[in-house]
């Protein structure tokens, strides 16, 4: 019996060591993702974190570097749990969080928002984020989320789709957003009137989305910004929460 116990302990130790020294997580799109800022509103820069383990894990992340040329705004950083830090300097205080469980051999959401509406040509903004596997260990991986304007500085005003509607309005605990399958809607972001990101909802239906409010969301007027799969803002709708 003692030999069996020792053998089991050895196997567990071996598996643990393998997980510790292997690359248990990696970035889906490499260590740097650059996106040309070409549309009005918040630009999404995505580089999802991949769980290479055979079991689910959670990933802790922290912003380790931040740079922005004049008039760039940081719109926040999101994992598969929530979004953080809209309109703030990510390093004051240090922006960090821990994801929800990421299934084995799957990728978990990790994306940043930048707004360069008022920024000049040939300017940029970026953050660098360090990710750590909290369950299996392993070395940290880092990714840089980079938005820039080129020499032309051209910004495309995206279409406004009159078929997209929000109800009820005024709303209490939720809004429903209706749209066409041709709109290719992927995300709905809610902002207050001073431009602070309140919440982001991922869209799974081709024709409608149900967005429930956080309990601590105060009464007032808000803007729902609807974006497609390329990050283009296709509509903005104003509503009131009672």
How many independent structural domains does the chain possess?
2
140, 217: one domain: no
Q: Write down the pLDDT at residue 65.
A: 95
> pLDDT tens across 64-87, in order?
999 999 999 998 998 988 888 888
28-50 core/surface letters (b: 16 or more CB in 10 A; e: else): eeeeebebebbbbbbbbbbbbbb
Distance CA 193, CA 153 (A): 27
Which contiguous run of DSSP H or E holds residue 8?
helix 2-21
80, 143: one domain: yes
> Residue 46 maps to which CATH number?
2.60.40.10
Domain end call among 101, 122, 148: 148
116, 41: one domain: yes
Q: Residue 93: is the preceding peptide bond cis (ω within 30°)?
A: yes
Please give the residue that has the higher pLDDT: either 151 or 114: 114
Q: Write down the pLDDT at residue 155.
A: 58
Strand partners of residue 129: 63, 143
Please give the residue that has the higher pLDDT: either 193 or 23: 23
Q: Write down the pLDDT at residue 162.
A: 62
107, 25: one domain: yes
Q: Is residue 68 part of a domain?
A: yes
99, 143: one domain: yes
Range in 24-33, 150-159, 193-202 the model is least confident about? 150-159
Q: Is residue 207 part of a domain?
A: yes
Nearest-CA neighbor of 59 among 70, 69, 68, 48? Answer: 48
> Residue 198 maps to which CATH number?
2.60.40.1220
Q: Is residue 66 part of a domain?
A: yes
Per-residue pLDDT for 1 more than 70?
no
Domain end call among 85, 113, 148: 148
144, 218: one domain: no
Classified as helix, coil or strand, 242 is coil
Give 148's pLDDT tier (boundaries 50, 70, 90): very high
80, 130: one domain: yes
Distance CA 48, CA 108 (A): 6
Q: Is residue 5 part of a domain?
A: no
Number of Cβ within 10 Å of residue 193's Cβ equals 10
142, 171: one domain: no
Per-residue pLDDT for 4 more than 60?
no
Q: Write down the pLDDT at residue 9.
A: 44
139, 108: one domain: yes
Give 159's pLDDT tier (boundaries 50, 70, 90): low
Q: Write down the pLDDT at residue 16.
A: 46
Mean local confidence (pLDDT), 182-194: 84
Q: Is residue 65 part of a domain?
A: yes
Distance CA 144, CA 210 (A): 32
Range of 103's domain?
21-148
With pLDDT > 70 as the criterion, what percentage of the chain qualifies?
Answer: 85
101, 211: one domain: no
CB 201 within 8 A of CB 188: yes
35, 142: one domain: yes
* pTM recorded for the entire structure: 0.60
Mean local confidence (pLDDT), 29-47: 85
Range in 6-15, 18-27, 145-154, 209-218 the model is least confident about? 6-15
Q: Is residue 157 part of a domain?
A: no
């Amino acid at each position: 019996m003692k030999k069996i116990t020792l053998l089991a302990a050895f196997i567990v130790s071996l598996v643990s060591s393998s997980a510790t020294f292997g690359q248990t997580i990696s970035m889906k799109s490499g260590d740097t993702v650059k996106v040309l800022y070409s549309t009005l509103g918040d630009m999404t820069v995505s580089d999802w974190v991949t769980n290479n383990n055979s079991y689910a894990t959670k990933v802790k992340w922290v912003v380790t570097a931040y740079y922005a040329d004049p008039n760039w705004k940081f719109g926040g950083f999101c994992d598969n749990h929530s979004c953080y830090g809209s309109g703030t300097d990510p390093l004051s205080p240090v922006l960090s969080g821990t994801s929800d469980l990421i299934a084995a051999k799957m990728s978990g959401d990790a994306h940043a928002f930048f707004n360069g509406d008022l920024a000049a040509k040939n300017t940029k903004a970026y953050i660098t984020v360090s990710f750590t596997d909290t369950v299996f260990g392993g070395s940290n991986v880092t990714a840089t989320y980079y938005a820039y304007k080129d020499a032309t500085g051209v910004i495309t005003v995206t279409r406004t789709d009159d078929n997209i509607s929000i109800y009820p309005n005024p709303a209490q605990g939720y809004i429903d957003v209706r749209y066409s399958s041709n709109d290719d809607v992927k995300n709905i972001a809610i902002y207050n009137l001073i431009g602070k990101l309140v919440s982001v909802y991922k869209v799974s239906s081709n024709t409608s989305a149900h967005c429930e409010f956080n309990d601590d969301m105060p009464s007032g007027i808000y803007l729902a910004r609807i974006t497609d799969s390329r990050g283009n803002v296709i509509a903005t709708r104003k509503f009131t929460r009672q």
